[in-house]
Structure 1
Amino acid sequence: MTRFGWIVLTVFVLVAAGFAAMTSFGTARHRRLDTAVTQPLPSSSPAASAALLTVPVKGVRREAIVDSWNDARGGGTRGHHGTDISAAAGTPVIAAAAGTVEKLFQSNLGGTTAYVRSLDRRWIYYYAHLSGYAPGLHEGQGVRAGEPIGFVGDTGDAGPGNYHLHFGLQRMRPDERWHQGIDVNPFPLLAARGQGR
C-alpha cells in the first residue's frame, strides 16, 4: 500500500473511532441504570456517610438479611432491585431512615407500597408488599428512623403466603418525582457487610 493509502486508512479509522465514541447505542436510561445499580455508594454520599440504615422490619437482625439483589424475577425477565426481608405476616415495618412520606401507592408488582423521601431529597426508601399501613400514615407526614410505616404482607406479586418486605433504595435528584430515581442495592446499608453482588 502507498503512503497516501496508509494516511487515508489512518484518517478513516480515527474518524470512525471518534464517531463510535460519540454515538450511544441503546437508551441512556438503561446504561445509566446498569452503571448505577452495580456501583457501591460513594463514600461522600449522604446515605453512605449516615453509617447504616435501621433494619426496616421490627425484630429482624442484620445478620439475618440476605442479599437478593439482581436475583431473577418475572420468570427470568428482570433482575430484583431491592432486598427482601422475610418475616411473619403482620410484623411491624418501620422507617429505615428519617424522611417524609412522599407517596402511598397500590401497584400490581409491589402491592401496598410506601415511598419515603430522605430529608435532603436525595434518596427514596421504598417499602413494598405491605399488608397495610400504620394507623394514620399519610402523604406529607414526617417520620423518624424506627417509626411505624406498615406491616409485612404478601400483596402484589409476592405470592400468597410469601410474607416479606421488599425494601428498595433509589438515588434521586431533588427535582425528580417519587418514581424516577435510580435503583441502588440497599443491602450494604442494611446488613453492615460488603456489597455481595
Structure 2
Amino acid sequence: MYRAAAVLVLLNFIGACASAPSSPSSGPAFSSLALCSGVSISNAPATDGARRIVGYDPQATVKGATLWRAPVEACVSSGYGPRRGGAGSFHHGVDLYTGRPAPIFAGGDGVVAAVESLRGYGKTVLIRHGRGVETRYAHLSAYAPGLKRGKRISMGEYIGRTGDTGNATAVHLHYEILVDGRHHNPLTVGQR
C-alpha cells in the first residue's frame, strides 16, 4: 500500500514551494526538483529561470546502489555544502521542505540500521544499502509503524513523516547520502 502511494506521490511531484505553507503551484513532474520560492538559499545548486535544479536526475547509482536524490515530495530549502547562518557553516545533506508532515520513502533497497533520536537531528532513520552506502533521514515527526533496526526495506517503502524535531526550524526532511562514512551531495553524487 505505501509503495503504491510512494509512486503516486512521486509521479505527482510539484517542483516549487514557498518558505511558508501556501497553495501549491502547477509545475513539472518528479523528473525535476526546484528551490523553494521566497527563500534565499546561500548554498543553492545551479537553477534555471523557474528555480528548477539544472541537470537534476531523480536517481543516482552509488557503488551499485540505486538511490533517490529526494525521497519526499518537496522543494529544496537548503543545499549541500557551506552556508551562511542557520545550523552551522557546512551542511552535510539537503533540506527538503514540505511545510507540513508528509510521507518519506526509503531512498533505496536496504536494511534499517537505526531508528533513533539524535542530538540536533531529532528523530532519524539510517538505512544501509550495501558496499558502504547509507542514507540518513532526519527531523522526522513520526516513524512508519513497525519500522525497526534490522528490517529489510525496499526503495519507495514508507518510512515516516517529515517534521521539525531536533534543531529544525520548519517541517522538512534533512536527507544525507554517505559512502564509506563520508557525506556526499545527494543532488550530485553518482553523476559522471
Smaller-chain TM-score bracket: 0.5 to 0.7
Change (3 A) 1:147 1:51: closer
Higher mean alpha-carbon deviation, 81-90 vs 137-146, is at 81-90
Give yes or no for contact 2:176–2:185 (8 Å, CA) kept in 1: yes
Alpha-carbon distance between aligned partners in 2 of 1:66 and 1:48, rounded to the nearest angstrom:
28
Alpha-carbon distance between aligned partners in 2 of 1:165 and 1:76, rounded to the nearest angstrom:
14
Does 1:84 find its partner at 2:95?
yes
- Looking at secondary structure, tell me which structure has more helix per residue: 1
Alpha-carbon distance between aligned partners in 2 of 1:146 and 1:171, rounded to the nearest angstrom:
20
Q: Deviations over 1:31-81 (max 9, x none)?
A: xxxxxxxxxxxxxx9516556526311x34xxx446611143776753001
Alpha-carbon distance between aligned partners in 2 of 1:122 and 1:55, rounded to the nearest angstrom:
20
**Shift of residue 111, structure 1, vs aligned partner:** 0.3
- Count of paired positions: 133
Q: Which runs of 5+ in 1 are unaligned?
A: 1-44, 173-180
Change (3 A) 1:138 1:146: same
The partner residue of 2:173 within 148, 161, 165 is 165
Change (3 A) 1:66 1:74: closer
Q: Which residue matches 1:114?
A: 125
Give yes or no for contact 1:73–1:80 (8 Å, CA) kept in 2: no
Give yes or no for contact 1:114–1:128 (8 Å, CA) kept in 2: yes
Alpha-carbon distance between aligned partners in 2 of 1:158 and 1:91, rounded to the nearest angstrom:
15
The partner residue of 1:102 within 113, 119, 135 is 113
Give yes or no for contact 1:131–1:155 (8 Å, CA) kept in 2: yes
1:1-197 aligned at under 5 Å gives the runs 47=62, 53=68, 55-57=70-72, 59-60=73-74, 64-65=75-76, 68-72=79-83, 77-118=88-129, 120-159=130-169, 162-172=170-180, 181-188=181-188
**Shift of residue 125, structure 1, vs aligned partner:** 0.3
Q: Which has the higher contact order (CA 8 A, sep 6+)?
A: 1
**Shift of residue 187, structure 1, vs aligned partner:** 1.1
Using the size of structure 2 for normalisation, the TM-score is 0.60
Change (3 A) 1:126 1:77: closer
Aligned-residue CA RMSD (Å) = 2.8
Name the SS for the 1:187 alignment partner: coil
**Shift of residue 90, structure 1, vs aligned partner:** 1.8
* Counterpart AA for 2:179: R
Change (3 A) 1:147 1:54: farther
Name the SS for the 1:188 alignment partner: coil
Name the SS for the 2:114 alignment partner: strand
**Shift of residue 115, structure 1, vs aligned partner:** 0.3
Alpha-carbon distance between aligned partners in 1 of 2:94 and 2:148, rounded to the nearest angstrom:
24
Change (3 A) 1:52 1:126: closer
Identity of aligned residues (%): 34
Q: Which runs of 5+ in 2 are unaligned?
A: 1-59
Using the size of structure 1 for normalisation, the TM-score is 0.59
